[in-house]
Amino acid sequence: MLSTAGLPSWLDPVIHAAQTVQPLQLSRFLPPESGAGRQSAVLILFGEGEKGPEILLMERAGSLRSHAGQPSFPGGALDPEDGDPQGEGPLRAALREAEEETGLDPRGVQLFAELPRLFIPVSDFVVTPVLGWWRTPTPVGVVDPNETARVFTVPVADLTDPENRAMAIHPSGHHGPAFLVESALVWGFTAGVIDRILHFAGWERPWDRSRQVPLDWRA
């Protein structure tokens, strides 16, 4: 299900990063050695928009039990029909969840890489980030308002703009990179992965890491 054939040349640095990056270079939170955790996958979908390369994101509904109201990649837990979690299961899950959450037509997506599995302690998810190229864009939007509040794309140029970058400070003391884009504050797992992709693809521009954005206590 993975192929790099025919991808636009601007994705070459992302392909190289995906092939060479090590798990601890992405996050200090790695899957438990015991094998515990809920297997899941997210789709990091690159497309071509009016402002050049862009990434598809969604905003989770505020009523959800975990990560309510947060911008995120489309994705979720693997279902039995997705298949082997150690095989192509995460690839199928990423496409299935993206279709269920955004209405995306998976036939227009070319999957080209996986990043190392990461861990989200607060929700006990073991997450496989799956990278895709939106070869044939199709309309997307909210499918189920109980799960998704908004679906939107963010130009990579906006993500790399130093004016749109800050460190998000959680009331618990946790801090990490954040992006202020498309009237949204992207933080947490999603922002961390985007930050690392920009860095290892060589797209990152110097930004002020002393700039802080406090998160609401409900975050």
Domains of the chain by residue range: 7-154
Homologous superfamily, domain 7-154: Nucleoside Triphosphate Pyrophosphohydrolase (3.90.79.10)
Helix (H) or strand (E) holding 76: strand 75-77
Q: What is the pLDDT, as a whole number, of residue 112? A: 98
**pLDDT tens for each residue of 77-103:** 999 999 999 999 999 999 999 999 999
Q: Supply the mean pLDDT for the chain.
A: 93
Q: What is the pLDDT, as a whole number, of residue 62? A: 62
Decide if 164 contacts 179 (C-beta within 8 A). yes
CA distance 156 to 165: 12
Q: Does the pLDDT at position 66 exceed 70?
A: no
Rounded (5°) CA angle 88-118-60: 90
Torsion, Cα of 94, 84, 187, 21 (10° steps) = -110
Q: Between residues 15 and 146, which one has the greater pLDDT?
A: 15
